[in-house]
């Protein structure tokens, strides 16, 4: 399968087709994707992505395609904020970068260098298949736990942490982020809000599935939820202010809130 990764990651139709089936098995119904036609289905079966029962055979690839689709063809308000803050930034750190979907979008801003930090070799491997821009941004892949940012890293313009901060040692990581930013640097995170557990068990219908019916990747999410620290906006503002961050802003996608009150995600931004 790996020999098809470059073809897939550079093909928007293949990405959306695979993302469709990933969303189907994981109850992710909020992302608009056209159902693949018979020709597309046959192609996916021929290259070994799905079987004759339309099950995805390579879940890491399915997740990667889901992220590439949602961050390119179906950007959320919070992801648009992330990219708007990246304009004219030369050195960027993507903390817990995942399979590189955010990096692909950041390349459009033509930074000089992007540090991609993740503790998954599988996630980092997808970055090799991203189509580079004419600016030939340097992408440094760093395999390590994001709780420990390389000590020698410094003079960074922009650090992002997309939907991962709640799984990390928050105070330690925020202090490290502040340390590596230059005097005009900034930080942006998208964070699970108080509505995320409700979204997971209710909107994705995981509450109504038996243990054997829950897809493997969602079982992994359940494990992560058990150790997640659901961060409040107030606690993050307080900690970032204590460290010295200024001009702190909070962003919410109100229409996505559970019952209009509990945010599934929120964004937080601050400058050094």
Question: How large is the average pLDDT for residues 155-184?
Answer: 96
- Which residues neighbour 128 within 8 Å (Cβ) at sequence distance 6 or greater? none
Last residue of a domain, one of 57, 72, 87: 72
To the nearest whole number, what is the mean pLDDT of the chain?
86
DSSP state letter for 156: E
The top-scoring range by mean pLDDT among 151-165, 192-206, 250-264 is 151-165
Residues 48 and 86 placed together within one structural domain of the fold: no
Residues 128 and 245 placed together within one structural domain of the fold: yes
In this structure, of 81-85, 90-94, 160-164, 197-201, the range with the lowest mean pLDDT score is 197-201
Last residue of a domain, one of 42, 72, 102: 72
Per residue in 9-39, pLDDT (tens digit) is 889 999 999 999 988 887 777 778 999 999 9
Alpha helices in the chain (DSSP H): 5-9, 12-26, 38-46, 59-72, 77-84, 101-106, 121-127, 170-180, 196-198, 216-227, 233-243
Per cent of the chain over pLDDT 90 is 61
> Which residue would you say has higher pLDDT here, 230 or 178?
178
Last residue of a domain, one of 72, 107, 123: 72
Per residue in 49-73, pLDDT (tens digit) is 999 988 888 889 999 999 999 999 8
Residues 65 and 105 placed together within one structural domain of the fold: no
- Number of independent structural domains in the chain: 2
Residues 107 and 52 placed together within one structural domain of the fold: no
Binned at pLDDT 50, 70 and 90, residue 77 comes out as: very high
Structural domain includes residue 134: yes
Q: Give the CATH number, domain containing residue 166.
A: 3.40.50.150
> Residue 194 has what pLDDT?
73
Structural domain includes residue 93: yes
97 close to 142: Cβ distance less than 8 angstroms? no
Residues 16 and 91 placed together within one structural domain of the fold: no
Label residue 236 exposed, middle or buried (CB < 10 Å: 0-12, 13-18, 19+).
buried
Residues 15 and 106 placed together within one structural domain of the fold: no
Question: How large is the average pLDDT for residues 187-205?
Answer: 73
Residues 132 and 246 placed together within one structural domain of the fold: yes
Q: Is the pTM of this model over 0.95?
A: no
Residues 53 and 181 placed together within one structural domain of the fold: no
Residues 68 and 92 placed together within one structural domain of the fold: no
Domain that holds residue 8: 2-72
> Residue 190 has what pLDDT?
96
> Residue 207 has what pLDDT?
46
> Residue 23 has what pLDDT?
87
Residues 118 and 246 placed together within one structural domain of the fold: yes
> Residue 214 has what pLDDT?
45
Binned at pLDDT 50, 70 and 90, residue 107 comes out as: very high
Residues 17 and 136 placed together within one structural domain of the fold: no
Structural domain includes residue 216: no
The sheet with strand 181-192 has its strands ordered as 138-143, 113-118, 91-95, 156-162, 181-192, 265-271, 246-252
Pairing type for strands 156-162 and 181-192 reads parallel
Binned at pLDDT 50, 70 and 90, residue 116 comes out as: very high
Per residue in 201-258, pLDDT (tens digit) is 655 554 445 445 445 555 455 545 555 567 889 999 999 999 999 999 999 987 676 6
Residues 16 and 126 placed together within one structural domain of the fold: no
């Amino acid at each position: 399968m790996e020999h098809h990764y470059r073809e897939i990651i550079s093909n928007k139709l293949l990405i959306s087709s695979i993302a469709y089936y990933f969303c189907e098995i994981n109850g992710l119904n909020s992302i608009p994707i056209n159902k693949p036609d018979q020709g597309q289905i046959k192609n996916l079966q021929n290259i070994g992505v799905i079987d004759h029962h339309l099950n995805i055979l390579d879940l890491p690839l399915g997740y990667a395609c889901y992220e590439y689709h949602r961050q390119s063809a179906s950007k959320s308000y919070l992801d648009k904020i992330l990219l708007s803050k990246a304009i004219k930034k030369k050195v960027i750190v993507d903390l817990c970068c995942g399979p590189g979907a955010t990096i692909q979008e950041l390349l459009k801003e033509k930074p000089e260098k992007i540090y991609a930090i993740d503790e998954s070799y599988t996630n980092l491997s997808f970055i090799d298949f991203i189509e580079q821009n004419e600016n030939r941004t340097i992408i440094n892949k760093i395999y390590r736990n994001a709780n420990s940012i390389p000590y020698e890293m410094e003079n960074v313009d922009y650090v992002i942490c997309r939907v991962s901060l709640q799984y990390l040692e928050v105070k330690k990581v925020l202090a490290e982020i502040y340390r590596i930013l230059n005097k005009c640097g900034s930080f942006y995170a998208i964070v699970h809000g108080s509505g995320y557990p409700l979204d997971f068990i209710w909107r994705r219908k995981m509450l109504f599935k038996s243990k054997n019916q829950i897809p493997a990747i969602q079982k992994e999410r359940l494990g992560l939820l058990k150790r997640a620290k659901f961060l409040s906006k107030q606690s993050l503002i307080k900690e970032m202010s204590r460290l010295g961050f200024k001009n702190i802003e909070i962003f919410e996608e109100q229409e996505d809130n559970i019952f209009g009150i509990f945010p599934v995600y929120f964004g937080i931004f601050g400058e050094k």
